[in-house]
Structure 1
Amino acid sequence: MNAKELADQLNGIQYPARIPKTLTDAAKEAGLVIVYGSSDDLMEFEGAIYDEVGVYDGGTAYVDAKGLLPERDQIEDDEVLKDYFARQPNAKSIEALWSEGEYSWMYKTDIPHATFEVLEDGEPPYCRGIVFALADIKS
């Protein structure tokens, strides 16, 4: 499975997005990451990365080939901080954009990706999510 094939399967999922375990397991096995919005403050990651980032009113997360980088201001341990600074130069950003056009959530990134729409009550889309491969992030 590639990013486009997975995004095609996710397209039209209803908010709140509950991605079937079969798809998240397949994404994890294929090294794919699904990113979508939840509520008014979360960027969700499923598949090869399983985590969430608080992005109230928008925000940015950083990922590298190893996965999601911790939020810099949340790091207190020196070893974690050293690892963060070693990974950060190769990390790519994913910017969560709140209330852009017809969407509550959209994502902007230089990582090659495919998109899908999360619908709310079958009406205009709630979110334009993305799917990308960790392998496409060079470290």
Structure 2
Amino acid sequence: MTPSELAAILNGREYRIEISDSEEVLAKAAGLVVVFGASDDLMEFRGAISDELGAYERTTARVSPIGLLTSWESVDKEDEDAAEAYFKAKLGGYREIEAEWDPGDGYSWTFKTDIPHSTFEIVEDGEPYCRGIVFKLADAAPPPSQPTASGS
């Protein structure tokens, strides 16, 4: 499954019924990440990443090929695996996804990123609610010309 194929399947879904459990399993198996907004303060990730970020009005998520890069403050310092994953992602480099609430284009939520992606529309009562994105997690690696956090 490709990002454009999954985006086509999700296009036109109703708010709160954005992606089924079976579609999330298929997305994860294909290494795809679905991003959409919920309420007025959440950035949702489904598929190869299953998580959410607080995003009241606007936030920027940092994503690497191994997942969502959380802030150091949110890492459980007693969990060696969590700390190791944080540093691997940080040193390997990441890309950003900007979530914006009510950007003035007819949607409540939109997302901007330089990660290659496909878009889909979520509606609420037949009206546009969110323009979500689907991308390959592997594409979250920084471009070769972009130095990583380690400076290499």
* TM-score after normalising by structure 1: 0.90
Letter in 2 for 1:87: A
2:123 to 119, 122, 139: 119
RMSD of aligned alpha carbons: 1.7
- Structure 2 CA distance for aligned equivalents of residues 66 and 128 of structure 1: 24
Secondary structure at the counterpart of residue 23 of structure 1:
helix
- Structure 1 CA distance for aligned equivalents of residues 47 and 6 of structure 2: 11
* TM-score after normalising by structure 2: 0.83
Deviation, 1:76, is: 5.4
Q: How many aligned positions are there?
A: 138
Partner of 1:29: 29
User: 5+ residue gaps in structure 1?
Assistant: none
- Structure 2 CA distance for aligned equivalents of residues 83 and 5 of structure 1: 30
**Higher Rg of the two aligned structures:** 2
- Identity value in percent: 52
Deviation, 1:103, is: 0.9
User: 5+ residue gaps in structure 2?
Assistant: 143-152
- Structure 2 CA distance for aligned equivalents of residues 106 and 13 of structure 1: 15
Deviation, 1:88, is: 2.2
1:104 matched to 2:108: yes
Secondary structure at the counterpart of residue 4 of structure 1:
helix
Letter in 2 for 1:135: A
- Structure 1 CA distance for aligned equivalents of residues 101 and 132 of structure 2: 12
Secondary structure at the counterpart of residue 84 of structure 1:
helix
Partner of 1:39: 39
Letter in 2 for 1:64: S
> Structure 1, residues 99-120: CA drift from partner, whole Å, max 9, x if none?
0121111001110000000001
> Structure 1, residues 19-66: CA drift from partner, whole Å, max 9, x if none?
112211110110000000000110000001100000111101111000
